[in-house]
Structure 1
């Protein structure tokens, strides 16, 4: 147990993997019952099942993945002392308490549910802030702004669930998801070209290395951060659509300079490129959706499954291998999991574009692929996460 809580990535990445399987298995079961003509009258949680599903994937799954990443990466960025066992145990307990409170929200006062569920991110952000001030850089301090945006999205959801406002759930979920994808724009935009460049250099490649252009990076990041704010505060569908397309195109142009083809025989690298490609595609689809051309639900699932699911799976698996002192080579089963997540995103998006008959097949297939992918992740990395680092 001491090993599990010794590093932030261990307990949180394990929690993310287990919750990814558990939550989608429950959602998949509910969908299957209704798709076959059955009816589930009541659930332990208060919100509608599709809202529970959306909330828990954004603030539950993504919250765990980000918790593990930041508690591990920020000390490396700043040279600050890593969080102690007691803090990791406490903050992971807050994350779990939030999941249990929302699950049993049908039997708990909604204000108590809100207090419990909203406690995790401020505690995490406060810890990160104390580490970032050791070496304050604007490009890192922006993560505190993004975490605040994610928390604000969750707050909007709970404000409606407690009856204090009439319209908080949908904008809150969108704010949360798009703030999470903005985190991926920043982190993915750093690690994808950097890890690719390092691998090419180690292989003796000296020319045509991945390139990043500061004006393009600035546009990509600024538009990704502005998009969720525009959606909440200036809900003009045409403006949101245009900005989302700008955001998607800027991500695609960044990716075009990162030598993706060189990585095709290296899953630990192409998984990052694939996740970033899904990010660009999701933003472009969202822009088209707000311009009235395709389904908004399809676009949101490209972002949620393909970008958030795909990129977090890629980053978590690489981080676990690296911090456990193991070679940075993804096992074949994990490489399969990378592909399954992208396929899950495509199936789910297509289900919202085609007719009802295909919707049920595509959605259930998407859920099954997601479950298989994260079951592989847990089965491969669980022994590593509970074992001390190899010296």
Structure 2
């Protein structure tokens, strides 16, 4: 990379963190498939299954969260972006955490926990001081979510150090609940707004995209309630009812956004599809709480389906808009969306036992890798070059 490319890449958080998200998403999945099907050992120091879940939830997803929130906070507050050396330091901390998790068996006990445990608290404190300085109380909930994610991360590390699986499971469950809540909060802000704006520009029926403070409040309360239900109940009829109520509220919310009106615009329908995966994940989670299906089904519906789809949907749009480019998906960009959809569907079907397990995993890994590799191919020039205009 030239000096101008490096300068552009570190001029705004979304640029470098979106590239890191895609690169790490590919690396983790290739490593996991190599372990499962190639028997290639890694000096992880963790049980391989929990390492995989930790790095997808607290590694891969954390980069996407940082890239989006650190960019969005500039719009919320009018503050200048984190850039240059300070941004490099934060990215370096994230990368150090990832390296410590890949080489934990080579390091003194607790080293990975110490290094990796710093990222979420530092990110939360930076966001907190920006919001307070600019009087933006509305988004303080995201600070609380980031701090709780930090606690969940430490819980998984503690489970590894002590050998207590319960801590690993609790940290994993907390991540799923909190990341899902982030998607619901952010999705509720951007999906109807983007859809409404697009319809207005084309003389469409923007009034068909409906938002209600009451619906939003009910949805957020029920979705947040799933988190303590996971911690205190785990499964059973009461847990299932809460989870299914959250699914129903989110379904009503999505329906009110009239996503079918955006079917001509891939940058929009992918966001509606990603939100639909949240609903599917919650429905499957409710079924798992009743012991009707295995937990791995809902975990992959949320992990590959909702998180994978929404992360790509947001990254492909934000990267265009925030670099001054037209909101038009690059040529062949729709393949990104098709590939992640194939990955999500095949992974869920494999977990359900409806298709051959090994075939389903390989198809899911291939679709996932293709989606993020194509994102890198198409968006690397966009993210590493100066803003247009």
TM-score band w.r.t. shorter chain: over 0.9
Gapped regions of structure 2 (runs ≥ 5) = 1-5
After TM superposition, list the pairs within 5 Å mapping 1:164-203 onto structure 2: 167-203=166-202
1:8 paired with 2:6, answer no
Q: Match of 1:36?
A: none
The residue that corresponds to 1:375 in the other structure is 373
The equivalent of 1:347 in structure 2 is: 346
Alignment partner, residue 101 of structure 1? 100
Is residue 81–residue 131 contact of structure 1 (8 Å, CA) maintained in 2? no
Instruction: After TM superposition, give the deviation of residue 146 of structure 1 in Å.
Output: 1.1
Counterparts of 1:197-216 in structure 2, within 5 Å, are 197-206=196-205, 208-216=207-215
Q: Within 2, Cα distance between the matches of 1:247 and 1:112? A: 38
Query: 2: distance between equivalents of 1:79 and 1:208?
Result: 29
Indicate if the aligned counterparts of 2:13 and 2:83 stay in contact, CA closer than 8 A: no
> Structure 2 vs 1, CA of residues 343 and 136 (structure 1 numbering), >3 Å: closer, same or farther?
farther
1:311 partnered with 2:316 = no
Q: Say whether the 8 Å CA contact 2:235–2:288 is kept in structure 1.
A: no
Query: Helix, strand or coil: the match of 1:131?
Result: helix
Compared with structure 1, are the counterparts of its residues 64 and 268 closer, same or farther at alpha carbon in structure 2 (3 Å cutoff)?
same
After superposition, the Cα gap between the structure-2 partners of 1:174 and 1:207, relative to the gap in structure 1 and judged at 3 Å, is: closer
| Displacement after TM superposition at 1:139 (Å) | 3.4
Q: 1:156: which partner in 2?
A: 155
Pairwise CA RMSD of aligned residues?
A: 1.6
Structure 1 regions of 5+ residues with no counterpart? 34-38
- For these two proteins, the number of residue pairs brought into alignment is 384
2:367 corresponds to 1:362: no
1:155 CA drift (Å) = 1.0
**Higher mean Cα deviation, 315-324 or 242-251?**
242-251
Partner in structure 2 of residue 19 of structure 1: 24
Partner of 2:64: 65
Query: Which residue number corresponds to residue 34 of structure 2?
Result: 29
Question: For the Cα contact (< 8 Å) 1:32–1:364, is it kept in 2?
Answer: no
Q: TM-score, normalising length from structure 2?
A: 0.95
Check conservation: 1:152, 1:176, Cα contact below 8 A.
no
Match of 1:142 in 2: 141
- The alignment partner of 2:221 has SS state of helix
